[in-house]
Amino acid sequence: MNRFVDSLRLTLRTVLTDRYAVVLMVGAVVLYSFFYPAAYRHQVASNLPIVVVDHDESATSRELLRRVDALHTVRIVDQPANIDQARHVLETGKAEGILLIPANLERDILRGSHGYLVLMGNGAYLGRASWVLGGVAEALTAFAREAAVSQAAFMGAPQAPPITLVQRPLFNTQEGYGSAIVPGVAELIVHQTLLMGIGVLLGARRLALGRRLRFDMPTLAGMAVGFGAIGLLGLLYYAGFTAWVQDYPRGGNPLGQLLGGTLFIAATVAFGLFIGSFFATRERAFQVVVACSIPLFFLANLSWPAVTSPPALVALAHLLPTTPGINLMVRLNQMDARLGEVSHELWTLVALLALYGGLAIWRLGARRSD
């Protein structure tokens, strides 16, 4: 028991006194909690400039423009006299889209015939064009429904109340890229910084001793608990404080997060001890772990559906703690999942903990002949 406690204290003291380890396992976690989400602070595009060519110049077209200009997504910056001038504004980058209102729009609507509108977006920036076309199209659709009711009243037809479809996101309430991606990346940041920290400390110790590392079981267990405590604090920091500061969906299943997060960090520590046992120098941890960050995120199938990935790649991804860990934490924190709904991820982490824990003992555990 004394060896376990001494090893735990030594691990925590080493992390806090080694400048490389403290920067990786503490400083980087805190820094990334503010730095990474900053790029997605404005999650939903707004006030994208568009130009309008109004050939009708009627009360109907003015009402239509009033509705379009009231949208949060776009703002009307100019009304050129013709389409050529509008195209020039678009090509110079001063606008992201063009709304063309043909002549006789009001007359066609009052006569009961179809009215036509032309909506164009800048294809050079597909994301912006999508927001412009989608936002304006929604306003035009609402305007068209009201116009259809007015037509029916003018022609004496029965007026049925129009059906309006109201779409409300269940989890990503802001419908933003940040809310969808950052919570998953947060788990990856904790995973990678923990791996690098373990690799740096093991590499430095191996370099200092000049031989392969061997630890008795209480010492190895104390190291694992020390690393795990630091990793779990970082994970809960992202799931709680960072999600609250950045206003991301959070707090779905706190008890489940504690259980799932503990298993995720435990599997990560076991994986890190096994991988770190191969590092002869502390720099090797940076080279290997940093290069794997992006592939690990895509292998987690959070932003890329698993059904579109090769089956062999999906099977390989389940050998990594990040795959079940990221999906587990996102579902528990952002989606309020119950433990039964994430049982597959929980048991996968248990299996990975046993697998890499055994491999870490094989690589780092003391032999009787030692």
> Which tens digits make up the pLDDT trace of 173-184?
666 666 777 888
On whether the CB atoms of residues 125 and 49 are closer than 8 A, the answer is no
Q: Is residue 170 part of a domain?
A: no
* Same domain membership, residue 34 and residue 55: no
Domain final residue pick, 155, 188, 220: 155
Same domain, 16 and 56: no
Task: Give the model's pLDDT for residue 112.
Answer: 66
pLDDT at 1 over 70: no
Q: How far is CA 236 from CA 36, 239, 241, 302, 349, in A?
A: 17, 5, 8, 20, 18
**Range 298-303 average pLDDT:** 82
Number of domains in the chain: 2
For 190-219, how does the pLDDT look when each residue is reduced to its tens digit (9 = 90+)?
Answer: 999 998 888 888 887 877 666 677 888 888
User: 77 is in which domain, residue-wise?
Assistant: 48-155
Q: Are residues 123 and 192 in the same domain?
A: no
Task: Specify if 8 maps to a domain.
Answer: yes
Is 160 inside a domain boundary? Answer: no
pLDDT tens per residue, range 137-164: 777 777 777 666 665 665 555 555 454 5
CATH code of the domain in which 119 resides: 3.40.1710.10
User: So what's the pLDDT on residue 270?
Assistant: 94
pLDDT at 149: 63
Q: φ and ψ at 319, to 5 degrees?
A: -85, 0
pLDDT at 43: 60
Instruction: Indicate if 270 and 287 belong to the same structural domain.
Output: yes
Q: Is residue 369 part of a domain?
A: no
Is 84 part of a structural domain of the chain? yes
29: left (phi over 0), alpha (psi -120 to 50) or beta: alpha
Categorise residue 47: left if φ over 0, alpha if ψ from -120 to 50, beta otherwise: left
- Pick from 247, 195, 235: which is nearest to 328 by CA? 235
The mean per-residue pLDDT over the stretch 240-250 comes to 78
Asked whether residue 76 is assigned to any structural domain, the reply reads: yes
Kindly tell me if the per-residue pLDDT of 359 is higher than 90. Answer: yes
- Residue 276: is its pLDDT beyond 60? yes
Instruction: Mark whether 68 and 27 lie in a shared domain.
Output: no
Say whether both 62 and 23 belong to one domain.
no
Structure tokens at 361: 């003992």
Q: Are 205 and 353 members of one domain? A: yes
Predicted confidence (pLDDT) per residue in 329-353, tens digit: 988 888 888 888 899 999 999 999 9
* Residue 164: inside a domain: no
161 in a structural domain: no
Task: Label residue 370 by pLDDT band (50, 70, 90).
Answer: very low
Q: What is the pLDDT of residue 127?
A: 64
Tell me, yes or no, whether 274 and 128 share the same domain: no
If we measure between CA atoms, which residue out of 12, 13, 16 comes closest to residue 24?
16
More confident of the two residues 1 and 253: 253
Q: Who has greater pLDDT, 261 or 253?
A: 261
In total, the chain counts a number of residues equal to 370
Question: Would you place residue 271 in the very low, low, confident or very high pLDDT band (cuts 50, 70, 90)?
Answer: very high
Query: What pLDDT is attached to residue 369?
Result: 46
**Cα 72 to Cα 70: distance, rounded to the nearest angstrom:** 6
What's the pLDDT at 45? 65
Least confident of 41-45, 129-133, 153-157, 270-274: 153-157
113 or 32: which leads in pLDDT: 32
pLDDT at 368: 53
Question: Based on the domain organization, do 93 and 75 belong to the same domain?
Answer: yes
Quote the CA–CA distance of 223 and 273 in Å, as a whole number.
Answer: 9
> Band of the pLDDT at 277, cuts 50, 70, 90?
confident
Which pLDDT belongs to residue 25? Answer: 83
Report yes or no: 222 and 11 within 8 Å, Cβ to Cβ.
yes
Question: What is the average pLDDT value for the chain, to the nearest integer?
Answer: 81
Q: Which residues contact 51 (CB under 8 A, 6 or more apart)?
A: 76, 77, 78, 79, 80, 86, 89, 90, 95, 97, 98, 99
Domain boundary among 124, 155, 186: 155
What span, in angstroms and rounded, lies between the C-alpha atoms of 277 and 280? 8
pLDDT at 357 over 60: yes
Residues 66 and 208 in one domain: no
Which of the listed ranges 64-68, 185-189, 198-202, 224-228 does the model predict with the highest average pLDDT? 224-228
Q: What is the mean pLDDT of residues 1-8?
A: 84
Answer yes or no: do 242 and 139 share one domain: no
Q: What is the arithmetic mean of pLDDT over 107-119?
A: 75
- pLDDT at position 168, please? 63
Same-domain pairing of 149 and 84: yes
